[in-house]
Amino acid sequence: MTWDWNFVLKILPDLMVGVWNTILVTLASSVIALMGGLLLAILESVSTRVGRAFVRFWLELFRGVPVLVLLYFSFYVLPGVGITLPAMPIGICVLGIVYAAYCSEVYRGSLITIPPELRDACVALSLSSSVTWRCVLVPLIIKRALPALLNYVLGLFRETAILFALGVPVLMGVANQIGFEHFRYLEPFTLAGMIYMGMNLPFLYLLPRFKDKHV
């Protein structure tokens, strides 16, 4: 099979639609992951022993079960109990929840590094628990966790390719559909790989420099 530039020009617009959908899925999933992970870390920190065990159970569940299994369960099993959602929202929610479990560990690690004396100072200043978390602890947690969180966002971006298994029109899904319709996989898969790499490169270049500023 030889490379066909005319075919490349023909399929590029469709691949760009896949790129746009990939970006949308990444952004939406990242919001769920970053905010959900922070809430889980805070909940685990302030809960009783039973509450911490409950949070830990769900964290280990979503970190231990393969993403594809969760996707198939949500897409094929949940409709049987009356919960039916389109493929893209399912993909966004599953990726967001799974990566929230990973981000929660990053936030928790950052919280552990905060000196206990800082909390004592907040108590001495008569700051309420909500003010302490909102104005003191959470900003510090986020600042210390940010480099690792960006790594997870980058990983989530690459993980969006798996959503093609549900027919979500992300870049990988569009490339697979083009190959199936035209019986040509060389151009769409090659272009998809190059586009993924091209979108990764700026992050791979900037991330080490970003880490150096937060050491």
Question: For residue range 60-111, what is the model confidence (pLDDT) as tens digits?
Answer: 999 899 999 999 999 999 988 888 889 999 999 999 999 999 999 999 988 8
User: What are 36-62's pLDDT values in tens digits?
Assistant: 999 999 998 888 888 888 888 988 999
CA gap 17, 141 in Å, rounded: 36
CA gap 106, 180 in Å, rounded: 40
Residue 215 has what DSSP assignment?
-
Q: How confident is the model at residue 127 (pLDDT cuts 50, 70, 90)?
A: confident
φ, ψ at 167 (rounded to 5°): 85, 15
44 close to 111: Cβ distance less than 8 angstroms: no
Q: Which residue has the tokens 């769920």?
A: 32
The answer as to CATH 1.10.3720.10 being correct for domain 5-213 is yes
Of 32, 17, 19, give the one whose Cα is nearest residue 153: 32
pTM over 0.85: yes
Q: How confident is the model at residue 209 (pLDDT cuts 50, 70, 90)?
A: low
pLDDT at 159 over 90: yes
Of 174, 198, 191, give the one whose Cα is nearest residue 8: 191
Tokens (6 digits) for 69: 């299994």
Q: Structural domain boundaries of the chain? A: 5-213
Tokens (6 digits) for 197: 């790499």
3-class DSSP string for 36-97: HHHHHHHHHHHCCHHHHHHHHHHHHHHHHCCHHHHHHHHHHHHHHHCCCCCHHHHHHHHHHH
pLDDT at position 150, please?
87
Tokens (6 digits) for 182: 């035209």
